[in-house]
Copies of this chain bind each other. A is one copy, B any other.
Amino acid sequence: MIIHPRTLRIEYGKTTKVMCVVGTELTVNIDRSAPPSSKYFSVQCSPRVQYRITPPPLESGTLPTSLNGNTMLRFTMDTASEVGNDSKLSVMYYGEKTEVLGKAVVHLTAVEISLDVDADRDGQVERNNPNKGSWMWGPNGHGAILLVNCDSEHTYGKRRDSERAEVSRVSDLKDMSPMVLRTSGPAKLPEGYKLTMHISQGDAESVRVFRTRSTAGMHQTLKNLFYKSFVKDYPLVLGSEDLSKEVPYLGGNAEMNFYVEGLRFPDKDFEGLISISLSLLEPSSQGFPETPIFTDRVVFRVAPWIMTPNTLNPLEVFVCSTSDNYQFLKGMRRLVENSGYKLKVCHEYMNRGDRWMQDEIEFGYIDSPHQRFPVVLDSPRDGELQDFPYDVLLGPDFGYVTRTAYNVEVSSLDSFGNLEVSPPVIVNGKIYPLGRIIIGVAFPTATKGRNMTKVVQDFLWAQKVQEPIALFSDWLLVGHVDEFMTFVPAPDKKGFRLLLASPDAGYKLFRGLQNDKHGQAKMFDGLGAEEEITVDEILSDDKLRAENNYVQSCIDWNRDVLKRELGLDDDDIIDLPILFHVMEENRAVAYYPDMVNMVVLGKNLGIPKPFGPKVDGRCALEAEMTSLMEGLGLSCTYIDDFASYHKLLGEVHCGSNVRREPFSFKWWNLEM
C-alpha cells in the first residue's frame, strides 16, 4: 500500500490537537512555523509515534538539529488510540544551541479506518485489501462486483427493487454487495470530527448505498435477517439525491455493514465502474467547511448481463398456448418432459394470441461472488406478449431489463429470434469462455435495410464479456438469425457444431432422390392436395432454383463471417437440407418447415417436422437430419408446427424459449 502523506501545520507557543489515521504519514514543515531567528530544533514523542526528519540530519542522537530551510518532520502511528489525545509529539526551537525560542506541541489521537469490500471475489469482505481501489480482469485480477438490483422481492404490486425508495424486504440485501466500514479508536471522535461516505455525481445514477441502523457487528445483523420487522433498519445513505452523507463512528473496534446496490447495466455511456469513498472530516474554525483529512476508496464493477448458449443445460422451457396450437403443445410437452425438464406454458389471457415466445424475450443472468440470478432482457418488439416478462417473469431473484427505442421504428430484426449466442470459442488465440453474441442486420454496404435498433445493440456491446458478431439476416422476410443457424452440443472437436440451413444440401438430397427413382415422391404428403408437390416438380422449377442460389450465397456470406469470428473450420459446420423461397421485397422464407429452427435440450432436439418426400414410408428429410445428428449422439424429435407456426413464418425455435443454467466460468475471470 502506498502511504499518502498529509501536510500538518503546527505553531510554536501552541498545542495542536491532531487526528492521525493509522497507515498515513503526517508531514510538518519545521521551518515554515519556526519562530524568527530559529537555527536548531529537537523532537520528542510518545512511544506509539514514529518519526523521521528529511533531509536526514548530519548530526545524530537527540541533540538539537539544524534547520535547513526545508526541513520536514514525518511521523506515523501504528495502533489506534484507546482514548483521545493519548500520544504526544513536541518540537522545540532554538536560536543558538541553548537559547529556547519556542515550542510546538501536538496531541495525537490515532484511529484505524478501512472501508472494505470483497475485492478478491471470494464472497467474503476481507480487511483492507490493498487492491480494493481498482479493477483488474482475470483470475489474478481484483475488484469488487455489483449487481443491478433488477429483480423484485415482491410478487404482487411488483416493481424492480432498484426502483423502490427503500429496502422493502430483508431478503433484498442478498442482491446487494456487502461493504463493511471497520474502525478502531477511542469511544468517540474528538469534537467536530466526523466520517462521511460519498460518491461522484457521475456515479450517482448507477448506485445506491444502504446501511444497517443496528450498531452491532456482523453476527447480529445476520440474525436480523430473520425478522421482517427490522426492515426499517436499513436507511439509505447515498443515492442520486445524496452524494455525501455522514455515517456514525461507532467507537472501539467496530464494524458497520453497508449494502451497495447497482442501478444501471453497463451501456454506451457507462463502462460499469463506480467508486465509493469514505472520508474523515476535520472541523475548521467557525463556518468554514470541514476538510477531508483521510479518504479510503473502493471500486465496484457492475456485473454484465450474460446470455446462455444451447450447449448449457436447460432449466425451463417456455411456450405459448393459443387456440390453434394443440398439436404443437402436445409435441413440445412430450419432448420436454421426456428430457426431464419443466415446460412452462404462457396462456392465452397473457399472450393474447402472440405465440412467438422466442421473439419477445431473451434469458440471461447476472453473477457475482455473493449472488446470482436470471435476468430477462425484454425486446423493444413489444408484441401482444409484451407484458409477459414483467408481469410473469420478474419476481424474487428473477431480474428484468429492457431498452426502449425512442423516436425510432422497431423492425422485425428487433425480435430476439435475431439474438443468439455461440458456445465458448477460441479465435486466433483469443479465448471467449462465454461465447459470442450473434445478431442479424442488413449488409454493412446496404444503403437501406432493416437493422436491430441502436439502443439494444449498444447495450449488447457494452456488456463486453460476449463480444457480439453482426450477421446478415435482412435477406429473410422475418429477418432472424435463428432461421438459418443454430448450435448443437457435440462430444468431439470444439464441443459443438454450427448447423446451417443449406439449399445446396437440399437440392443435393432431392437430386439424389430423383436419381434413385423417387422423383414422384411428394412433399407435404397428407397436408392437403393443394400443398403436395413432387420431387421432380421441385427440381424442374428454375425460378425456385435461382431463388435458392441467392439464399445459399447469403448463407455462405454468413458462414464465412462465422468461420472467421468464431474460429471455425468447415468440419465444425453441418449443412442441413433446407430450401427457401423468395417473397415480397425479394426476401426469403423457408419452403418447408425449417429444421434448423429447433429447440436444443441437452442431447434432445425438438425439430420442426419437415413433411418431406417419403421413401419406403420414411421422410427422406427426417432420415437425413436424424442421420446427421445421430453421429453426434443427439436424438431428434420432430414436432408438427406446420399449421400453427410454419404457415405463420416461424417454427419450433421461434415459438419457444429456454432458460438455461449459467456458465460455471465466472465472467470476472475473463482476460480483457
A interface with B by C-beta (< 8 Å):
2, 4-9, 27, 29, 32-37, 54, 70, 72, 196, 198, 200-202, 242-245, 268-269, 277, 279, 281, 284-285, 287-293, 295, 428, 443-447, 449, 451, 454, 474-475, 502, 504-505, 508, 511-512, 514-516, 546, 549-550, 552-554, 556-557, 559-560, 563-564, 570-571, 575, 582, 586
- A36-B511, A288-B550, A291-B443 given; name 12 further pairs at CB < 8 Å: A2-B428, A7-B560, A36-B514, A196-B445, A277-B445, A279-B445, A285-B546, A289-B449, A289-B474, A289-B475, A290-B445, A292-B443
Contact A32 B243 (CB under 8 A): no
Q: Majority SS of interface residues in chain A?
A: mixed
Indicate how many identical chains form the complex.
2
Pair A512/B36 contact, Cβ less than 8 Å: yes
**In the complex, what residue of chain B is closest to A556 when comparing beta carbons?**
B7
CB distance B291 to A571 under 8 Å? no
Cα distance A508–B70 in the bound complex, in angstroms: 13
A446 x B202 contact (CB < 8 A) = no
Interchain CB contact under 8 A, A445 and B244: yes
- Residues on B with beta carbons closer than 8 Å to the beta carbon of A447: 242-245
A-B CB contact pairs (8 Å), 5 listed: A5-B560, A54-B570, A243-B447, A289-B446, A295-B444
Taken together as a complex, chains A and B put the C-alpha atoms of A9 and B245 apart, in Å, by 68
Shortest CB-to-CB span from A380 to chain B, Å, is 16
Please indicate the chain B residues that have their CB under 8 angstroms from the CB of A508 in the complex: 32-34, 36
A290 to B442 alpha-carbon distance, docked (Å): 12
Q: Are A9 and B292 in contact (CB under 8 A)?
A: no
Q: Closest chain B residue to A543 by CB distance?
A: B285
**Contact at B586–A288, with CB atoms within 8 Å?**
yes
Q: Which of A445, A447, A564 has the most chain B CB atoms closer than 10 A to its own CB?
A: A445
Residues of chain B within 8 A of A563, CB atoms compared: 5
Residues of B within 8 A of A564 (CB): 4
Contact B504 A454 (CB under 8 A): no
Instruction: Give the CA-CA distance A505 to B475 in the complex, in Å.
Output: 77
**Bound CA span A557–B554, Å:** 64
Whole-angstrom distance between the Cβ of A265 and the nearest chain B Cβ: 16
**Distance A547 CA – B662 CA, assembled complex (angstroms):** 61
> Which residue, A35, A54, A291, A514, has most C-beta atoms of chain B within 10 A?
A291
Q: Which residues of B contact A553 (CB under 8 A)?
A: 9, 284, 291
Q: Which residue of B lies closest to A508 (CB)?
A: B32
For the complex, give the distance between the alpha carbons of A505 and B70 in Å.
12
A515 partner, pick from B7, B37, B268, beta carbons under 8 A = B37
The verdict on A285 contacting B9 (CB below 8 Å), with A445-B290, A560-B4 known, is no
Q: Which residue of the partner chain, among B5, B444, B570, contacts A292 with CB atoms under 8 Å?
A: B444
CB of A10 to closest CB in B, whole Å:
10
- Do the beta carbons of A552 and B515 come within 8 Å of each other? no
Q: Does the CB pair B557–A445 fall under 8 Å?
A: no
Given A515-B37, A559-B7: A244 and B446 within 8 A (CB)?
yes
A279 CA to B443 CA in the complex, in Å?
A: 11
Query: Which chain B residues border A552 with CB–CB below 8 Å?
Result: 9
User: Do B504 and A289 have beta carbons less than 8 Å apart?
Assistant: no
Bound CA–CA A285/B54 (angstroms): 84
Chain B contacts for A445, CB-based, 8 A: 196, 198, 244, 277, 279, 281, 290, 292, 295
Q: Is the CB of A6 within 8 A of B571?
A: no
Q: How far is the CB of A236 from chain B (nearest CB, A)?
A: 15
Please determine whether A70 and B454 come into contact, CB atoms closer than 8 angstroms: no
Name the distance in Å between A388's Cβ and chain B's nearest Cβ: 30
Cβ contact of A72, chosen from B446, B504, B570, cutoff 8 A: B570
- Given A4-B560, A243-B447, decide whether A287 and B586 contact each other with a Cβ distance below 8 A: yes
